[in-house]
Amino acid sequence: MVFLSLAIATLGSASAVIAASTQSPPVRLRDLVKRAGTVTGPVIPTDFPDPGLILPNGMPPWYVYSTSTSHGKVPFAISEDFTEWTPIQGDALPYPGIWVSSSNSAVWAPDVRQIGTNYYVMYYTAFSEADGNHCIGAATSLTPAGPFIPQAAPIVCDAAGGGVIDASGFEAPGGALYLVWKVDGNSKGQSTPIFIQHLAADGYTLTGSATQLITNDPVDGGIVEAPSLVYWEDYYYLFFSSNRYNTLYYDVSYAIAKSATGPYTKVQAPNAPLLVSGDCGTAGPGGATVINVLDRYVNAVFHSDINGKNASGGRDMWQISGLTLSNGVATVNCPKK
């Protein structure tokens, strides 16, 4: 079974990444340590938020998928070299499912995973008319371009918690499959925990019970979201965004653990956040997806505010090539101008 897993990497010591901070303003990282893994962008210079990334069968072309825009429910683009990207190629999920509200049918944060040689599962967020909140759906396809065919019902809902969003897949060493997601508590003035739960071999049937990995602390600006879980050299890295997505405080940070289900420790300055506004020319960087390609190297994609101020002008796609993880620390490098 092939299930391309998420991953990231950098230089440093795990002893420097202990304990959650209680300071109230967001932590700011400003080139405090030498970086590895090159950030470039925008590589898709149009509205392409919350990008999901996959390299089918470990061979080009790469595929990326975005939240709904004027280009479709789940627009996608491709690249042969992870340098140049095509214009948007089409809509991978033109019909998000019978359970999705007809009056509010946008799709958020799609994540595609490969299970088997010619079998793909897409996880996505949409508004459920029956539940009255955002739920997580799953759709399948025999090709990464789709069209993906949705399941008849969502696979995760949580009305009491405020809904659920930002689902992503993960394969642990040994082949166990998981789904990771955020409870959208900020929609009700509540906390925003991130959960994990086992998936069956089909890639979309949840089994067992959910486990909380992290939740928001004061330093997170009231929110943690957009989880992306990866394994690399004895560490599990849970990447996430914190603070509000439509502000320049939005960022990419991470927590680490020795087990897929935790306990996780949020990494602190100077080793985190991984990206904040101003780093490498970004503005409100977030919504990252990171993949480990056959244990050979790690690449990532994320979005940044086009207008340099907030999300109102759209968010274009940026990338990180050859990201490195080492001893529980992740770092990036800005290209020289």
- Answer for the pair 50, 225: CB distance below 8 angstroms, yes or no: no
The secondary structure of 160-213, three-state, reads CCCCEEEEEEEECCCCCEEEEEEECHHHHCCCCCEEEEEECCCCCCEEEEEEEE
- CA–CA separation, 16 and 330 (whole Å): 12
At 293 the pLDDT is 85
Average pLDDT of every residue of the chain: 89
Q: Is residue 117 very low, low, confident or very high in pLDDT (cuts 50, 70, 90)?
A: confident
The dihedral through the CA atoms of 64, 258, 198, 156 has a sign that is negative
The dihedral through the CA atoms of 334, 251, 259, 205 has a sign that is negative
At 294 the pLDDT is 86
Residue 9 included in any domain: no
- Answer for the pair 316, 47: CB distance below 8 angstroms, yes or no: yes
For the purposes of burial, counting CB atoms within 10 Å of the CB of 269, is it exposed (0-12), middle (13-18) or buried (19 or more)?
A: middle
At 32 the pLDDT is 32
Which CATH number is 160's domain given? 2.115.10.20
At 128 the pLDDT is 97
pLDDT of 29 higher than 50: no
At 322 the pLDDT is 87
pLDDT of 5 higher than 80: no
Residue 7 included in any domain: no
Percent of the chain past pLDDT 90, that is, above it, reads 83
At 271 the pLDDT is 95
How far from each other are the two terminal CA atoms of the chain, in whole angstroms?
Answer: 43
Instruction: Identify the weakest region by mean pLDDT among 30-39, 120-129, 142-151, 158-167.
Output: 30-39
Residue 2 included in any domain: no
- Answer for the pair 107, 71: CB distance below 8 angstroms, yes or no: no
pLDDT tens for each residue of 54-97: 999 999 999 999 999 999 999 999 999 999 999 999 999 999 99
**Count of structural domains, the chain:** 1
Residue 276 included in any domain: yes
E strand or H helix at 270: none
pLDDT of 210 higher than 80: yes
Q: 10 Å Cβ neighbour count for 144?
A: 22
Residue 6 included in any domain: no
The verdict on whether 233 is a catalytic residue reads: no
Residue 1 included in any domain: no
Given 220, 225, 251, 316, which residue is catalytic? 225
Residue 8 included in any domain: no
Given 50, 91, 166, 279, which residue is catalytic? 50
pLDDT of 2 higher than 70: no
* Residue entry with tokens 């992306």: 228
**Mean pLDDT computed over 199-222:** 97
Q: 10 Å Cβ neighbour count for 107?
A: 28
Residue 136 included in any domain: yes
pLDDT tens for each residue of 163-201: 999 999 999 999 999 999 999 999 999 999 999 999 999
At 75 the pLDDT is 98
At 208 the pLDDT is 97
Residue 322 domain boundaries? 14-331
Could you say which DSSP state residue 234 is in? Answer: T
- CA–CA separation, 330 and 253 (whole Å): 9
**Mean pLDDT computed over 141-146:** 98
Q: Residue 122 has which token pair?
A: 């897409």
pLDDT of 8 higher than 80: no
The verdict on whether 316 is a catalytic residue reads: no
Instruction: Check: pTM over 0.85? Answer yes or no.
Output: yes
pLDDT tens for each residue of 287-302: 999 999 888 888 999 9
- Answer for the pair 82, 321: CB distance below 8 angstroms, yes or no: yes
pLDDT of 321 higher than 90: yes
The dihedral through the CA atoms of 29, 34, 36, 38 has a sign that is positive
Q: Is residue 337 very low, low, confident or very high in pLDDT (cuts 50, 70, 90)?
A: low
